[in-house]
Structure 1
Amino acid sequence: HLTMNVTSTTISPPNHTHSCEPPYDEENPLPLVVLYSTVLTLGLPANLITVFLTVLEVCQKNVLGIYLFSLSVCDLMYLGTLPLWAIYINMGHRWEWGSLSCKLMGYVFFNNMYISIFLMCCVSADRFVAVIYAVESRGLRRMRHAVITTVVIVVVIAVGHVPVFSMTEGDQATGLNYARFFIGFFIPLCILIVTNLAIIAKVQTSTGLKPQTKIKIRNLAFAVILFFLVCFTPYHVILLLRAINFHFSNGKCDFERRIYTPYTISLGLSTINSAISPVFYVLSSNSVHK
């Protein structure tokens, strides 16, 4: 896949002179092309509608609107690259637009994934503060804080992935894979689980909410966790396995070739995030939902 080659995530020892070539000749491009086309068809209108709704929320000084607006803009940027990805896959993994643009597409992919992940954490954390610390949250949840948090996330992740343009294979790529797994996936997953389970526990003990409302909040919290696990766990587990394999492969490509099909599937699952996330996270805001 594009991000497997051009952004140097194919891991081989420094003294290995060539990358492990994935088994492209064994791949049927149709499923990925259909997937990317479907995600674009569903995700584009969903995110455009979400941008419109969240702009209204921002105008009404809704803190959650900042995170939801940023999440949708981020997804729209990634969706804009999907036509090129689909053409690339359909042409048998031949990139016709130059090396720089190829790396740029990988850069957009990685930025979208991790900005989305951390914005999801912000949404869950904001809901956690609003539910658990209902009174105190009036002073904690401010528009300025949300804007600063979002800007910091975007800048840190964007700068952190600049090495994509100049990275050499080997230890550097392996280190980036470890960082993606632990910082970009495992820690956010823990935050999502803790905050959403705390919300569920608080809501269940509340005497002021109707049973139907409690069920709705509980189902949404579980859905957010499940959505995150399905979209991002396979990809990051494979990243971790590839990084570990680097230390024991002795330059052999057997593992890289075996893992290619699961890797492709995991990339497809992560792509679905851009189409589904607006649905889940708009439902996090009662006013947007209405």
Structure 2
Amino acid sequence: MSLHDLVSLTTGVALLACVLAVVGLHAYASGRAQRAALVDRLSYTGQAPLTGRRRRFRNLDRRLRGTSVGRRLELRLAATGLDVTPGEFLVYMLATVVALWLVGQASLAPFFGPIAGLLGVFAAVQFLNWQRQKRIERFIAQLPELARILANATHAGLALRTAIGMAAEELEAPAGEELGRVADQLAIGHSMDEALGELADRLPSRELVVLVTTLVLSNRAGGQVVSALRNLTETLEERKETRREIRTQLSQVTMTSYAVPVLGVGALFLMNGVKDDTLARMTGTGLGQAAVIIAFGLYVIGFVLIRRLSRIDV
């Protein structure tokens, strides 16, 4: 073999190696992207259906879901139905805390910066609780119609699994979305007890627990599902009307619980507006700082007590 042939062979082998390296890198990158997409889909099985928008803070979100706090936050977000990942919620909450910290420090006094930040965390937690409770109330309002659909479907000879899938298609959100998740879990091999139990854990309420218990016991023992569901439908209708009357009667108390802390914060702005640097001088001493902390603590205690005393379980 001549030197020219050896150079040509070496050049060809090098080019082939470069081509194979490029193809390998492309296959590796494609496989990595597909794996990340699969992990994301599997990670959000308990949350609301994801839209096609691009997810932010993926690395932070993946690490956060690996912790116990992140898993609890993920379950809480799943119950609210918000299209937000745990990582996105954490970043948005921290941004809100920083903004409130700076606003409180600039508009009132430097001492109120940390207090405003803590109020931001409290507001974020209350927002999640409010969204979750609102979704639960909407789901409870759909329970009579859900029980009626299941009763009619089972009376027509359909299996309970098929009836749940039919109800998921006919009902609007949130009942349609939640039953769609139950149907998906049943389709991939979960038992009826597990799928309905996870539904009761996501949206805890007495009405849903009664419905889930009725379905599980009827499915396990082979009882009369139709008659049980029809009796349950009448009961749910009566409880729905009772809950509506109680919520109407307690609406003024609920507004009072929110008005009390708002008036307290408004008084601070009023004091600072009447005379500049009033709050700065007041919080310049240890006694003034202690008084402010005690006042905020009393407002929080008043808010919690009013909410607890006005809570009536039906």
| Same fold, TM-score > 0.5, yes or no | no
The two structures have a TM-score, normalised by structure 2, of 0.27
Larger Rg: 2
Structure with the higher helix share, 1 or 2: 2
The two structures have a TM-score, normalised by structure 1, of 0.29
